[in-house]
């Protein structure tokens, strides 16, 4: 089927009797039909597992309905990307440079050679750097299911070890990446999903720029106060906390006032981030105050972070150095700059767009699971 008609694999996958039987089975899979979805989810919820003190078969049995949804979702995801001409790749997990985010807390390890030489390594927090090296080498459209690690993250929506789905398409712009993301969600999810008491209709996707979101939900001119913490605080009707910089206040307002109100009735793409928060995204050619970056929210949950990728090695180095200075002021010296990545960008990273998606969270939504641990085969 793959060789003769690539597009047929998605249709065959979504229309097969086996798949429909799974979605119709009497467990909360996130598909909303007639009746009260909360009542229906309560009626078919798996039995409560025993207290979390030691491994017990009942604990796995309670999660199996959710885990089967996860397996189905993974198969559908591979089918979707293979049908679109993507190649699945694998990149190293233990790396010299785990990333450059300011508040990154990676897991540390080391490699010991046969001569006893020791080399510090870190479990990567994203496969982004490695995948960009492949893109610069001519790998073309690629995707990866990557295990990633982030220390200090736990809760109903977090785990220190989780699965990230990441994909990149050369030649894509933000409009193209948004369109592909919508197509992916509609291919692997039912038309209406429900998770953690929030029901979201995938019939349409909302687009909201960050400036529009701050105007609507905070009452502040985000771009007009960029870099000015006191001005943003005054516009938002709040006070700056001790040592709170503009970036800190920006994220506090985003978390407290905006994120709880988007991606609920419909999925929301939160687009065009301030240039100061561009990360690895390029600036918008039509408005350099913002970057071509978006996040996606479904069922009130942040699911994905995406960029039209920065391909200027000089600007990328400057951003890395600025982030490293902030991080070192916070937690001290840590790991070397990834010079190999900068060399790859300089050698010719193609114009491209990429997206990183929390696959465990997506599995929660597909299954209607209330906690991330419910969709992990062996939760920590």
Note whether 299 and 194 are within 8 A (CB).
yes
The residue assigned the tokens 């300089």 is 346
The chain-wide mean pLDDT, for the chain, equals 89
- H or E stretch covering 206: strand 206-209
Q: Give the pLDDT band (50/70/90) at residue 1.
A: very low
Q: What is the pLDDT of residue 38?
A: 34
DSSP tag of 275: G
Binning pLDDT at 50, 70 and 90, where does residue 104 land?
confident
State the pLDDT at residue 52. 56
Q: What does pTM read for this prediction?
A: 0.86
Which residues on neighbouring strands pair with residue 352, listed in sequence order? 170
DSSP letter at 100 equals: -
Split at pLDDT 50, 70, 90, the class of 50 is: low
Three-class SS string for 126-151?
A: CCHHHHHHHHHCCCCCEEEEEEEECC
Indicate the pLDDT class of residue 53, thresholds 50, 70 and 90.
Answer: low
More confident residue, 58 or 229: 229
What residue ranges do the domains of the chain occupy?
8-205+266-375
Helices (H), ranges, the chain: 8-15, 17-24, 37-44, 57-83, 128-136, 174-188, 210-217, 229-236, 246-253, 313-331, 339-348, 359-367
CATH architecture of 8-205+266-375: 2-Layer Sandwich (3.30)
pLDDT confidence of residue 54? 57
Using pLDDT thresholds of 50, 70 and 90, give the confidence band for residue 168: very high
Each residue's pLDDT tens digit, 313-327: 999 999 999 999 999
pLDDT in tens, 245-286: 999 999 999 999 999 999 999 999 999 999 999 889 999 999
Longest dimension (CA), the chain: 67
């Amino acid at each position: 089927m793959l060789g003769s008609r690539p597009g047929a694999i998605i249709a065959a996958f979504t229309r097969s009797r086996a798949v429909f039987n799974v979605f119709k089975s009497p467990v909360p899979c996130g598909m909303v039909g007639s009746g009260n979805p909360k009542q229906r989810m309560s009626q078919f919820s798996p039995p409560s597992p025993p207290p979390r003190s030691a491994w017990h078969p009942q604990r796995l049995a309670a999660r199996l309905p959710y885990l089967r949804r996860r397996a189905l979702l993974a198969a559908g995801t591979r089918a979707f990307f293979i049908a679109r001409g993507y190649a699945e790749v694998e990149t190293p997990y233990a790396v010299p440079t785990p990333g450059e985010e300011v508040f990154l807390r990676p897991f540390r390890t080391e490699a010991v050679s046969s001569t006893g030489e020791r080399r510090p390594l870190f479990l990567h927090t994203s496969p982004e750097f490695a995948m960009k090296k492949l893109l610069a080498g001519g790998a073309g459209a690629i995707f990866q299911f990557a295990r990633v690690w982030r220390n200090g993250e736990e809760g109903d929506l977090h785990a220190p070890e989780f699965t990230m789905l990441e994909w990149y398409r050369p030649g894509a712009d933000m409009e193209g990446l948004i369109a592909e993301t919508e197509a992916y969600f509609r291919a692997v999810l039912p038309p209406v999903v429900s998770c953690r008491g929030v029901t979201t209709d995938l019939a349409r996707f909302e687009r909201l720029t960050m400036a529009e979101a701050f105007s609507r939900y905070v009452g502040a001119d985000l771009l007009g106060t960029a870099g000015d913490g006191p001005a943003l605080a005054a516009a938002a009707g709040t006070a700056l906390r001790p040592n709170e910089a503009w970036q800190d206040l920006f994220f506090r307002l985003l978390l407290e006032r905006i994120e709880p109100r988007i991606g609920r009735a419909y999925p929301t793409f939160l687009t065009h981030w301030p240039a100061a928060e561009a990360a690895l995204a390029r600036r918008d050619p039509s408005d350099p105050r913002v970057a071509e970056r978006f996040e996606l929210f479904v069922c009130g949950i942040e699911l994905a972070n995406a960029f039209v990728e920065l391909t200027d090695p000089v600007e990328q180095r400057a951003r890395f150095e600025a982030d490293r200075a902030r991080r070192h002021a916070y937690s001290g010296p840590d790991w070397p700059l990834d010079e190999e990545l900068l060399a790859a960008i300089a050698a010719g990273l193609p114009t491209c767009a990429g997206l990183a998606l929390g696959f465990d969270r997506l599995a929660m939504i597909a299954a209607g699971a209330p906690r991330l641990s419910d969709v992990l085969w062996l939760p920590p």
